[in-house]
C-alpha cells in the first residue's frame, strides 16, 4: 500500500464547508453576547455616574445633578453642583450658575452603540404602562436633570439604556433614598429583574 500523505480535495472542501456552517451558526450568538455585554457596561457606567453625583452631593453638602442629553442619538452625561443655594436648575446650567464638576461624556464612548433608548416593547419599570421602541427613554420629569440632595433624596425616575439590538436595561432612582438600581427586562416573562 503506498504511503498516503496530505488530504484529498474532497476532504478539504468538506472540512471547509463544515467550518463555514459552524461559524455561521455561532455568529448570531456571538453578536447577541456582545450586545448584552456592551449594554451592561453602558448601564453600569451610567449608574456609576449617578452614584458619583450622590456621593458628591453628600461630600459638598449641596445639591448635585446629572444632566442627561440626547445629541443625534448619542447620550451625553455631565455632573453639575448647585452654585446659588436653590438646587441645580436648568436655567442655572444654561446661565453658568451651576458649577460643572465633569466634562460632557458620551455613553457610546464607553460602550459602543449604547445610548439612552427603548429598543423593544417593554412594561414601564415604574409601573405606569407599556413603552414602545422610540418612546422617551428619560422618565425623570420635565427636565433632563436628575438631582441628588445632601439630605439623601433624589429625583425619582427611570433611565432606559440599550444598544440598537439586544437586551433592554433600566436604571431606577428611588427619590426618598437616592438609591440606584440596574434592572434587565426579561422579554419572555415580561418582567424587570435586578
Higher pLDDT, 30 or 65: 65
The string of pLDDT tens digits covering residues 52-93 is 999 999 999 999 999 998 888 899 999 999 999 898 988 999
For the cut 70, the answer to whether the pLDDT of residue 27 exceeds it is no
Has this prediction a pTM greater than 0.75? Answer: yes
Map out the domains of the chain with their CATH numbers.
9-193 (3.55.40.10)
Q: Which of 138, 130, 139 is CA-nearest to residue 187?
A: 130
pLDDT band for 25, please (50, 70, 90 cuts).
Answer: low
SS3 48: helix
Helix-then-strand count for the chain, H and E: 3, 13
* Cβ atoms of residues 69 and 75 within 8 Å: yes
Q: Which of 23-37, 47-61, 95-109, 119-133 has the lowest mean pLDDT?
A: 23-37
Separation between Cα atoms, residue 39 and residue 161, nearest integer Å:
7
> Which secondary structure element, helix H or strand E, spans residue 11, and what is its range?
helix 9-60
Q: Average pLDDT for residues 169-173, to the nearest whole number? A: 94
Please give the pLDDT value at position 14: 80
Arithmetic mean of pLDDT over the chain: 87
Amino acid at each position: 500500500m503506498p504511503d498516503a500523505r496530505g488530504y484529498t480535495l474532497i476532504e478539504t472542501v468538506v472540512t471547509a464547508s463544515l467550518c463555514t456552517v459552524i461559524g455561521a451558526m455561532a455568529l448570531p450568538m456571538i453578536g447577541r453576547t456582545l450586545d448584552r455585554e456592551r449594554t451592561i457596561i453602558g448601564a453600569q457606567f451610567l449608574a456609576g455616574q449617578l452614584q458619583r453625583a450622590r456621593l458628591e452631593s453628600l461630600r459638598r453638602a449641596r445639591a448635585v445633578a446629572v444632566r442627561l442629553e440626547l445629541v443625534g442619538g448619542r447620550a451625553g452625561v455631565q455632573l453639575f453642583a448647585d452654585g446659588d443655594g436653590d438646587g441645580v436648575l436648568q436655567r442655572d446650567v444654561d446661565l453658568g450658575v451651576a458649577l460643572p464638576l465633569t466634562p460632557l461624556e458620551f455613553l457610546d464612548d464607553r460602550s459602543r452603540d449604547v445610548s439612552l433608548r427603548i429598543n423593544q416593547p417593554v412594561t414601564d419599570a415604574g409601573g405606569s404602562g407599556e413603552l414602545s421602541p422610540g418612546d422617551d427613554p428619560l422618565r425623570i420629569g420635565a427636565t433632563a436633570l436628575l438631582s441628588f440632595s445632601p439630605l439623601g433624596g433624589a429625583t425619582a425616575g427611570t433611565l432606559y439604556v440599550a444598544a440598537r439590538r439586544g437586551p433592554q436595561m433600566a436604571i431606577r432612582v428611588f427619590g426618598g433614598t437616592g438609591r440606584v438600581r440596574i434592572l434587565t427586562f426579561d422579554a419572555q416573562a415580561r418582567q424587570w429583574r435586578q
